[in-house]
Amino acid sequence: MARLTLRLPASLHAQPGQQAHAEGVSLNQYIVFSLTKTDTASQMAAQWAQFRRMASTLPESEAEQALTSLLNLRPAPSHGE
């Protein structure tokens, strides 16, 4: 695990600190969660753009079948989800 030390103005430190407290997690956990969420959203946006480019190259009837096939590749959710 890597370590990162930041020097922040008190005003910038206060808001995430308050949010972490409200969520019942440490500031470190809150920052890691926030970075992960941002990275995941960025990856999803890139995947969506790639999907739209691919879908635009197919006739509508083939695009619908390709989407159905893609969705069928998803693993079934477990009973705990």
Q: Residue 56 carries which DSSP code?
A: H
Q: What share of the chain in percent tops pLDDT 90?
A: 14
Q: What is the pLDDT at residue 23?
A: 93
Helices and strands, counts by H and E, the chain: 3, 0
Which helix (H) or strand (E) segment is 58 a member of? Answer: none
Burial tier of 69 (Cβ tally within 10 Å: 0-12, 13-18, 19+) = exposed
Separation of alpha carbons 15 and 44, rounded Å: 27
Q: What is the pLDDT at residue 79?
A: 64
> 34 falls in which pLDDT band (50, 70, 90)?
confident
Q: Model's pTM, two decimal places?
A: 0.50
pLDDT tens per residue across span 57-81: 878 778 778 778 877 887 776 665 5
